[in-house]
């Protein structure tokens, strides 16, 4: 059941950010790709009503009938999933609301369910919890609602070294706010940063590939992802400028800080931190080493009980100021999210879920945002950028090639 308490800083901050940037959509969510023909809309609506029953905080002014629609892939530009996602995400979301689109007629006899919500309502971990509730396990799993908090790597046994962890947390959260660094680099200086409809591109791989690379180099799955992303961006940027001069490409990454008692809470229980991506390094292994050094013990530090206490105690009025500075293109280059999903297979309205495509929002003035999500034994990465951004469609292949390079070492 949804906990009525709010993490006031993030909730108020995102509300203020949305008001300050009316042309920027804060929609986040996912597209679930399913096997077989699309079920009748009423079947999907029945599952959505079950989600609202489990999470009544999602209700608001949105009813299942009003917020659920239907789309034929043949009515989109390219008749495929990418065109469906581009079409759906171009539609406005109701404030403090959500929307669900049933897309039928995808290639290979598949359909998709695209679920989006205003970021003010929930964060990435909340999206994962909603989708796990919307679907059902393919096989018997422990009778416990999926929790993204429980899926985090290294959770449970961590003991905090109070002073070092607190200092690390203060540095990670305070430096972006106070502007104690040089201006963040833009990926493509000449590309427009005006708000507008987004274009998406996706890639997927085996979770075990990411995990295996991480084991060999003493890194986490997220470290491997950030290193591969750095290499992909380096190759992409090199077609427009010299990447060796980009030493301030800063990824803004939300870190889930839910406590065990908050595992069923959707809302926003995260703190954004800044990680500088090593685009100026040519060697893929050296990039991974550099990322690992920059993220070492960072997530654990941010889950220190004192950090949660401090951020929860901050007044709501500080939230918009914090979010404005976190998302400012002067302080961050791109938004990069990583959300663990259910480690088991899912079915939706009786159909097997074949995969998921994560949907991230694009902060005002940014050119690109990236989201990684895992489901069962697969990892899926989604790139969202301005439609005017050149070369966006090639980023998934570049990311995959960087993983191959790391695997070959």
Say what the pLDDT of residue 362 is.
96
Helix axes 8-20, 318-327, angle to 10 degrees: 70
Report which of 31, 260, 263, 56 is spatially closest to residue 145, judged by C-alpha positions: 263
pLDDT, tens digit (0-9, with 9 covering 90-100), for 302-355: 777 777 777 777 788 888 998 999 999 999 999 999 999 999 999 999 999 999
Instruction: Indicate the pTM of the whole model.
Output: 0.90
Domains of the chain: 8-137 (3.30.559.10), 162-340+367-408 (3.30.559.30)
Report which of 88, 149, 97 is spatially closest to residue 122, judged by C-alpha positions: 97
Token pair for residue 229?
């992303």
Alpha carbons 283 and 285: distance in angstroms, whole number: 6
What 3-state class would DSSP assign to 146? Answer: coil
pLDDT, tens digit (0-9, with 9 covering 90-100), for 175-216: 667 765 668 999 987 665 556 789 999 999 999 999 999 999
Alpha carbons 115 and 137: distance in angstroms, whole number: 18
Region of poorest pLDDT, from 6-20, 32-46, 214-228, 330-344: 6-20
Alpha carbons 53 and 32: distance in angstroms, whole number: 21
408 by Cβ neighbours in 10 Å (0-12 / 13-18 / 19+) ranks as exposed
Residues facing residue 353 across a β-bridge? 34
Residue 51's pLDDT band (cuts 50, 70, 90)? very high
Greater model confidence, 154 or 351: 351
């Amino acid at each position: 059941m949804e906990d009525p308490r709010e993490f006031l800083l993030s909730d108020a901050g995102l509300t203020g950010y949305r008001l300050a940037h009316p042309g920027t959509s804060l929609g986040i969510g996912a597209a679930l790709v399913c096997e077989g023909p699309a079920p009748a809309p009423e079947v999907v609506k029945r599952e959505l009503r079950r989600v609202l029953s489990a999470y009544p905080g999602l209700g608001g002014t949105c009813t299942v009938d009003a917020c659920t629609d239907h789309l034929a892939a043949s009515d989109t530009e390219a008749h495929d999933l990418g065109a469906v996602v581009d079409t759906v995400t171009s539609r406005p979301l109701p404030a403090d609301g959500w929307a669900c689109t049933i897309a039928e007629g995808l290639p290979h006899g598949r359909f998709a369910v695209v679920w989006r919500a205003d970021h003010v309502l929930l964060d990435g971990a909340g999206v994962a919890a909603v989708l796990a509730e919307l679907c059902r396990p393919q096989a018997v799993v422990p009778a416990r609602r999926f929790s993204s908090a429980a899926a985090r790597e290294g959770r449970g046994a961590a003991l905090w070294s109070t002073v070092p962890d607190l200092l690390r947390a203060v540095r990670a959260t305070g430096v972006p706010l106070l502007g104690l660094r040089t201006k963040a680099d833009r990926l493509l200086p000449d590309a427009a940063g005006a708000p507008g409809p987004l274009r998406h591109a996706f890639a997927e791989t085996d979770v075990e590939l990411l995990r295996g690379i991480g084991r060999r180099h003493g890194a986490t799955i997220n470290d491997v992802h950030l290193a591969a992303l750095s290499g992909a961006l380096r190759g992409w940027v090199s077609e427009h400028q010299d990447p060796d001069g980009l030493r301030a490409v800063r990824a803004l990454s939300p870190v889930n800080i839910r406590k065990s008692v908050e595992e069923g809470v959707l809302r926003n229980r995260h703190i954004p931190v800044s990680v500088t991506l090593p685009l100026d390094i040519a060697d893929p292994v050296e990039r991974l080493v550099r990322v690992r050094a920059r993220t070492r013990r960072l997530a654990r530090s941010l889950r220190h009980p004192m950090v949660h206490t401090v951020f929860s105690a901050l007044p709501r009025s500080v939230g918009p100021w914090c979010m404005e500075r976190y998302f400012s293109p002067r302080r961050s280059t791109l938004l990069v999210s990583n959300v663990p999903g259910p480690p088991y297979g899912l079915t939706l309205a009786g159909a097997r879920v074949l995969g998921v495509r994560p949907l991230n929002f694009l902060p005002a003035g940014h050119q690109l945002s990236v989201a990684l999500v895992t489901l069962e034994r697969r990892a899926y990465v989604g790139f969202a950028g301005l439609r005017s951004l050149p070369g966006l469609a090639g980023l998934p292949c570049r990311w995959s090639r960087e993983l191959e390079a790391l695997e070959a070492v």
